[in-house]
Amino acid sequence: MIALLLAAVATGSLQAPLGVAHTLMPVPASLVWQVGRLRLDSSFSVRVAGSRRDDRLARGVERFLRRAGSATGLLLGRGAGGLALSVAGPGQRVQSPEEDESYTLEVTPGGASLQAPTTVGALRGLETVLQLIDSDSAGWYLPSVRIADRPRFPWRGLLIDVGRHFEPPEVIRRQLDGMAAVKLNVLHWHLSEDQGFRVESRRYPRLQRFGSDGLYYTQAEIREIVAYARDRGIRVVPEFDMPGHSTAWFVGYPAYSSGPGPYTIERHFGVFVPTFDPTRAETYQFLEGFIAEMAALFPDPYWHIGGDEVEGSQWRTNPRIRAFMRVHRLDNNGALQAYFNRRLSAILTRHGKRMVGWDEILHPDLPPTTVVQSWRGQNSLVEGAKRGYRGILSAGWYLDAMRTAEFHYLVDPLAEGNELEPDAASRILGGEACMWAEHVTPESIDSRIWPRLAAIAERLWSPRDVRDVPDMYRRLAVMRGRLEALGLGHEGHTGRMARRLADGHDASVLIGLLELVEPVRFSERSSLQRLVQQTPLVFAVDAARPDPPMQWNARKAARAALLPDDRATAARHGLDSSFVSWAALAPALDSLGAEVPLVRDAIPAARALARVAAIGREALGQLGRGPAPPEWIK
Ligand code: ACM
């Protein structure tokens, strides 16, 4: 450590984390601390170099000043000093994975300078400046630093499923605000499902009229959201899932399905029978008409066709489809789906779109320009890349699996020691977290996405060797607050919803419990509770949030309790009093549950926690007594 200090003195620079435990998230590609501080006061402003007008940049600077102002209480933007912003050009007219998102930032006591080749790079840099704002006894400041930053992967996304449960435009907009704050750049918008078709089509209005329960985005709303995303350097990739997961299409247009119909909107969750008919010319005419209309709404060069979980029985049992397969030498459903995908890909190419699909579409006949999204495991990502396909990873990043931020953080599309040659590795574009919405509503969505997503965003942006879990949690705790300041509701969610469940009674016991436990995983909830689409999602499990901060704190305390020095004593005392308070929750919740029906679901969790607390207390007792007897361990 002395050697490190001397080296830092010799070069005049301090490498993080020595000297400064920063709270940047994602961590920049390169960062060197300098000496001194740039004072932030009401004279601080942003000066944009050059005469060319860039409205997107101007709006970004406006938002930056507003957010810096609300972080500091300063009325900013009226002075002459501060941040010099220099942007070489606006970047791509339609953002693609090739967009240059790099920037360099230098802060000295005399001023700050942010340089970027594109507007998107400048937006990324402005987010970093906001995260650098700090305070000391003299007031607000930016620490002196030199940052040269660029993303590790060009495709860094969040999938939001609005098919199973609809999310209104304002909910989507606030997710976009959060995504920009953690430097994500793709909203993958899952717009059609068995349970709902969510976009207004003027050409085929029976889609939304019969397939949406009235819950869909108008074309004006779609345009507005796409523009809102572009303003934040975020692409919008639409997904219209086919040939399966498509019941809602056929309520209004049964003729394009492989069965006789009629159809109704599916209310259960799972994998269902209705499937597009890939054998009829009319199906492709319909899809081409639809894609032509939607291509004008969604400017992104990529288009997601879904392609997952084709149930297949309509294809197996329809004599006309079986005859078609014989004539075209399509030996099985996989071959028929590959035929469908080839025809879809040709339509998409005519409309300037490149095809993306889930990993089921990997097939020898898949067009080489296709991007494959791996959800069933990382193997398909590797397999696809070896066979020449570009790929994005989602396996390990399903937010409905209710895993910890740590679990998601350590998933890597290109882990150390991966088996890919450099050429194949370069085809891995990045990845996407997935917010599937069987159990998600506008009320709970923020609590499911944020802020575990910041950990995934860091994996996709920062260098591979940034993977220190305790440091991630330390920064995440700060990031959670920043995201809340943007209008996301994850921090207040549990308390707010628990008060509602408690129906006027004192909710503190329920809140105390829900701060300690997490929602059951997707599959467990599905089997425990027979949910349909209209089931109100107002249970204790909905009020709980994944990876509650108390969990990491408890893990940290347990580790400290095992240290071979004095720190262990304090940690053991702290843990012991936690265990005592955990055990007290169960009888208190029993009393509350006797009066309030919606609280009763939480009682088994409270009892299990009391049991854990009892075991924990015994274990602490054993620690002082040497090796525990085998009977006790059992
Ligand atoms: C999927 O989860 N079926 C993509």
Give the residue from 353, 448, 447 showing the smallest Cα distance to 400.
448
User: pLDDT averaged over the chain?
Assistant: 95
Average pLDDT over every residue of 224-253: 98
Atom of ligand 1 nearest to the CA of 308: 3
Residue 20 confidence (pLDDT): 60
- How many Å lie between the centroid of ligand 1 and the Cα of residue 271? 10
Average pLDDT over every residue of 363-385: 95
456, 466 in Cβ contact below 8 A? no
Give the residue from 394, 398, 396, 493 showing the smallest Cα distance to 436.
398
Per-residue confidence at 12, pLDDT binned at 50, 70, 90?
very low
CA 360 to chain centre: 22
Average pLDDT over every residue of 17-30: 82
pLDDT of 130 > 80? The answer is yes
Residue nearest atom 2 in ligand 1 by C-alpha distance: 375
| Residue 350 burial (CB count, 10 A) | 12
SS3 content of the chain, % helix, strand, coil (to 5): 45, 15, 40
Average pLDDT over every residue of 115-143: 97
Atom of ligand 1 nearest to the CA of 309: 3
Residue nearest atom 3 in ligand 1 by C-alpha distance: 308
Question: Ligand 1: which residues within 6 Å by Cβ?
Answer: 308-309, 358, 375
Phi, psi of 170 (to 5 degrees): -65, -30
pTM: 0.95
H-helix segments, 417-529: 422-425, 445-449, 452-461, 469-485, 493-502, 508-514, 522-528
- Alpha-carbon distance 506 to 604, whole Å? 20
Site to probe by mutation for ligand 1, drawn from 164, 190, 308, 398 as the one with most ligand atoms within 8 Å of Cβ, is: 308
pLDDT of 367 > 70? The answer is yes
Residue with tokens 């790099």: 102
Four-point Cα dihedral 445, 448, 454, 456, nearest 10: -120
- The tokens describing 272, both together, are 């269902």
pLDDT tens-digit series, residues 530-550: 899 999 999 999 999 999 999
- How many Å lie between the centroid of ligand 1 and the Cα of residue 218? 26
pLDDT tens-digit series, residues 157-168: 999 999 999 999
Atom of ligand 1 nearest to the CA of 245: 3
228: CB partners within 8 A, 6+ apart: 173, 176
Residue 625 confidence (pLDDT): 85
- How many Å lie between the centroid of ligand 1 and the Cα of residue 575? 40
Strand 111-116 vs strand 103-108: parallel, antiparallel, or unpaired? antiparallel
Q: Across 323-441, where does the E strand assignment appear?
A: 354-358, 371-374, 390-393, 428-435
Residue 32 confidence (pLDDT): 97
- How many Å lie between the centroid of ligand 1 and the Cα of residue 444? 21
pLDDT tens-digit series, residues 49-107: 977 789 999 999 999 999 999 999 999 988 888 999 999 999 999 999 999 999 999 99
pLDDT tens-digit series, residues 389-434: 999 999 999 999 999 999 999 999 999 999 999 999 999 999 999 9
Residue 484 confidence (pLDDT): 97
pLDDT of 17 > 60? The answer is no
Residue with tokens 């639809």: 290
Atom of ligand 1 nearest to the CA of 358: 4
Site to probe by mutation for ligand 1, drawn from 375, 400, 523 as the one with most ligand atoms within 8 Å of Cβ, is: 375
- How many Å lie between the centroid of ligand 1 and the Cα of residue 267? 18
pLDDT of 6 > 50? The answer is no
Residue with tokens 């961590």: 27
Average pLDDT over every residue of 568-593: 96
Residue with tokens 């159990």: 439
SS3 of residue 266 by DSSP:
coil
pLDDT of 184 > 70? The answer is yes
Inter-CA distances, 14 with 5, 37, 266, Å: 8, 14, 59
pLDDT of 4 > 50? The answer is no
pLDDT of 39 > 80? The answer is yes
- How many Å lie between the centroid of ligand 1 and the Cα of residue 225? 24
Residue 7 confidence (pLDDT): 39
* Residues annotated catalytic, as ranges: 309
Residue 53 confidence (pLDDT): 86
pLDDT of 627 > 90? The answer is no
- How many Å lie between the centroid of ligand 1 and the Cα of residue 599? 32
Picking from 9-13, 96-100, 449-453, 506-510, which range would have the lowest pLDDT averaged per residue?
Answer: 9-13
pLDDT tens-digit series, residues 326-346: 999 999 999 999 999 999 999
Per-residue confidence at 629, pLDDT binned at 50, 70, 90?
confident
CA 69 to chain centre: 27
Average pLDDT over every residue of 291-320: 98
pLDDT tens-digit series, residues 459-475: 999 999 999 999 999 99
Atom of ligand 1 nearest to the CA of 306: 4
Average pLDDT over every residue of 232-242: 98
- Alpha-carbon distance 436 to 416, whole Å? 29
pLDDT of 225 > 90? The answer is yes
Residue 78 confidence (pLDDT): 85
Site to probe by mutation for ligand 1, drawn from 358, 380, 393, 522 as the one with most ligand atoms within 8 Å of Cβ, is: 358
